[in-house]
Homo-oligomer: A and B are copies of this chain.
Amino acid sequence: MQRIVLASRPRGAVLPENFRLEEVDLPALDVGQVLVRNHYLSLDPYMRGRMSEAKSYAAPQPLDATMIGATAGVVAASRHPDFAEGDAVIGMLGWATHGIAAGGELRKADPRVPLSAGLGVAGMPGVTAWYGLNRILQAKPGETVLVSSASGAVGSVVGQLARLRGCRAVGIAGGPDKCAYVTDTLGFDACVDYKAGRLKEDLRAATPDGVDCLFENVGGLGLDLALARMNAFGRVALCGLIAGYNGDAQPLYNLKHMLIKRLRVEGFIITEHPEVWPQALDELGALVHSGQLRYRESLAQGLTAAPEAFIGLLQGRNFGKQLVQLIP
């Protein structure tokens, strides 16, 4: 098998030389284990945090070990009664062409949706959106839901679920193409292009009744301006702060709005809420199957393309869910 390990920890921006491609032999399967050939690797912003040594909610990714990551693949051999050769499965097998996991660490892919969707709209990013909107924001019909990184894996689901709840969905995304996708394909009511240089004015125009619910993926200036648009008793789901992941200082100036507007702000990590996954995955899969939930993927080709694709993700160069296709 081929795998990519963390060769060194980044100082600031992630560089290709922080990674190393290796070829290693697969060990023999133990009782209860499953061998999976990975078809897709998911690239997600949280990985940036794991590459640093700084204390966070999870232990750092060890050096010289396979980079952490979710994978979708097909069982190649099984010594676990619940899995048979040919089963499509989702797991955390990392940046690698193959992987071995205990059966309990895998879940069967949803047959109603394409395999790759199990890493995005019908996987962890989708559940993240579902939880933030339903459990933290508790968006009510008629309320305005603002989401940053709106064309991305999480944000795109937030806005579409918000629309299905009868909310006004407003996105922030980078560039006219992404914004057109967010409104025309995903059906958001409005999308603000943060690269257009008029973020404050455009945000005001897109949220004439203010913002009741903010789903934050980015941080930085967008968050500051969004806080200033919040209505009294608004809620903020703090899901990601990708603008600061490479260590650039991203001070917040509009903290006072949390007080003035009596906001409730909550940070969350979706893996800590396993109780919602079955319901969320079931609802998301059904919505994808019925065509009510749309998604878009950026596919990098081959494991060797993963580092560059990941660096692009951190810079917002992806368009939709960033995946690596491991089998042509």
Contacts and interface: CB of A to CB of B under 8 A. Distances in A.
A32 interface: no
Interface in A229-251: 232, 238-241, 244, 249-251
Interface stretch (A79-87, A151-159, A258-266): A258-266
B262 A267 contact: yes
B262 A272 contact: yes
Interface residues of A, number: 31
Contact of A255 (B49, B56, B241, B259): B241
A152 B75 CA distance: 64
A252 interface: yes
A238 B261 contact: no
A26 interface: no
A256 B244 contact: yes
A272 to B, nearest CB: 7
Contacts of A223: 255
Contacts of A258: 238, 265, 267
A135 to B, nearest CB: 12
Contacts of A261: 57, 267
A161 to B, nearest CB: 21
B256 A255 contact: no
A219 interface: yes
Q: Which of A256, A261, A264, A272 has the most CB of B within 10 A?
A: A256
Interface of A: 49, 56-57, 219, 223, 232, 238-241, 244, 249-253, 255-256, 258-269, 272
User: A-B pairs with the 3 shortest C-beta distances?
Assistant: A251-B251, A259-B267, A265-B265
6 contacts: A57-B262, A219-B255, A238-B259, A249-B253, A262-B268, A262-B269
